[in-house]
């Protein structure tokens, strides 16, 4: 499937219903998620950061390394990919625009820009600057077919009035031309409904990264178009690894290794579908 076709397919997925866009962290996990039947994928900045021994903060993964990883996930399958492009790897709107163009050049079908400034003392960009950054990204993507997801991080950074701030910003981002709206950290049906209203009919991405009492069917009934899981799949893999490794280190026993995926099916899958050097 070529880039234009992927982008068109991704746009269609947002038109009706509700779909899950899981977050692989490397080529193998991307290939397996396609095999399991998912229709689109999204990168995870934290999942990739952890795999490189880095924290998910303050652009610890440099822009060019992030772009290389995004391109790797795009090339892993023929599915549309949405890039977790953090805060655009630049503070000024002009820098965001330039970096968004570079991200689009990887072949992604969508990308997200957040309003987390990385400054512990003032974690959200000022409203006017946050809006100008989204406006710059919208202009940079004009005519490409790439869907722009605008994120408000108020719930994740501990804003004192997180929901009101998220609603205010998402309304402005929607009016500025963002295609999809996203407020990671919302969980209650009431807050989801308020974000849906703020989106003004545009698709909303909902993060569900654990057992929060909502199923895909529940989210769909609330009008959510897209569900992502963020770093949860990567952390689930880390959870299995650490459970087995801690048992080895602490008890000298091997019971947790009995929960590992069998070698044979994995090897056969990658033998049949794997990337050839």
Long-range CB contacts for residues 219-226, cutoff 8 Å, separation at least 24: 219/18, 219/192, 220/17, 220/18, 222/189, 222/192, 222/193, 222/196, 223/196, 224/18, 224/192, 224/196, 225/14, 225/17, 225/18, 225/19, 225/180, 226/13, 226/14, 226/18, 226/19, 226/20, 226/21, 226/180
The structure tokens listed for 130 are 């946050």
pLDDT over 80 at 26, yes or no: yes
**What average pLDDT does the chain have?**
97
Q: How many whole angstroms separate alpha carbon 92 and alpha carbon 125?
A: 10
pLDDT over 60 at 277, yes or no: no
Domain membership flag for residue 140: yes
pLDDT value of residue 276: 60
Query: Tokens 């990919």 — which residue?
Result: 81
Q: pTM for the complete prediction?
A: 0.96
Domain span including residue 14: 3-231
Percent of the chain whose pLDDT exceeds 70: 99
Mean pLDDT to the nearest integer, 7-19: 98
- 156 with 141: CB under 8 angstroms? no
Q: What is the CA radius of gyration of the chain?
A: 19
Mean pLDDT to the nearest integer, 101-129: 97
CATH at 215? 3.20.20.60
Which is it for the CA torsion 41, 59, 195, 130, positive or negative? negative
Query: Please, what is the Cα angle at 233 between 16 and 77, to 5 degrees?
Result: 65
Mean pLDDT to the nearest integer, 207-229: 97
Report how many domains make up the chain. Answer: 1
Domain membership flag for residue 95: yes
Residue 44's pLDDT band (boundaries 50, 70, 90)? very high
The structure tokens listed for 48 are 């990739």
Domain membership flag for residue 248: no
Q: How many whole angstroms separate alpha carbon 93 and alpha carbon 56?
A: 22
Domain membership flag for residue 15: yes
Widest Cα–Cα separation across the chain: 59
Chain length of the chain: 277
User: Which pLDDT tens digit goes with each residue over 150-185?
Assistant: 999 999 999 999 999 999 999 999 999 999 999 999
Domain membership flag for residue 197: yes
Query: Tokens 């995870």 — which residue?
Result: 44
Mean pLDDT to the nearest integer, 30-57: 97
Domain membership flag for residue 246: no
Residue 1's pLDDT band (boundaries 50, 70, 90)? low
Query: Tokens 């545009």 — which residue?
Result: 202
Mean pLDDT to the nearest integer, 96-122: 97
Mean pLDDT to the nearest integer, 85-90: 97
Domain membership flag for residue 262: no
The structure tokens listed for 145 are 């077919």
Domain membership flag for residue 272: no
pLDDT over 90 at 69, yes or no: yes
């Amino acid at each position: 499937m070529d880039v234009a076709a992927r982008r068109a397919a991704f746009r269609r997925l947002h038109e009706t219903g509700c779909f899950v866009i899981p977050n692989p962290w490397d080529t193998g996990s991307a290939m397996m998620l396609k095999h399991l039947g998912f229709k689109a994928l999204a990168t995870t900045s934290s999942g990739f950061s952890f795999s490189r021994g880095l924290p998910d903060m303050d652009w610890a993964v440099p822009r060019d390394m992030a772009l290389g990883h995004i391109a790797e996930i795009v090339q892993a399958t023929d599915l549309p990919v949405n890039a977790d492009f953090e805060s655009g790897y630049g503070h000024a709107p002009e820098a965001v625009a330039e970096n968004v163009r570079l991200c689009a050049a990887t072949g992604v079908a969508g990308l997200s820009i957040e309003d987390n400034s990385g400054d512990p003392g003032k974690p959200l960009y000022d409203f006017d600057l946050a809006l100008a950054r989204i406006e710059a990204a919208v202009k940079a993507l004009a005519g490409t077919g790439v869907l722009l997801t605008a994120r408000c991080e108020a719930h994740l950074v501990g804003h004192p009035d997180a929901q009101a701030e998220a609603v205010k910003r998402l309304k402005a981002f929607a009016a500025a031309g963002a295609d999809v709206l996203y407020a990671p950290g919302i969980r209650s049906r009431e807050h989801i409904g308020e974000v849906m209203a703020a989106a003004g009919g545009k698709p909303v991405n909902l993060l569900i990264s654990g057992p929060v009492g909502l199923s895909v069917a529940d989210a769909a009934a609330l009008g959510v178009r897209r569900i992502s899981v963020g770093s949860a799949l990567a952390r689930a893999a880390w959870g299995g690894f650490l459970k087995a490794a801690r048992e080895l280190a602490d008890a000298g026993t091997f019971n947790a290794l009995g929960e590992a995926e069998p070698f044979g099916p994995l090897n056969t899958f990658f033998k049949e579908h794997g990337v050839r050097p």
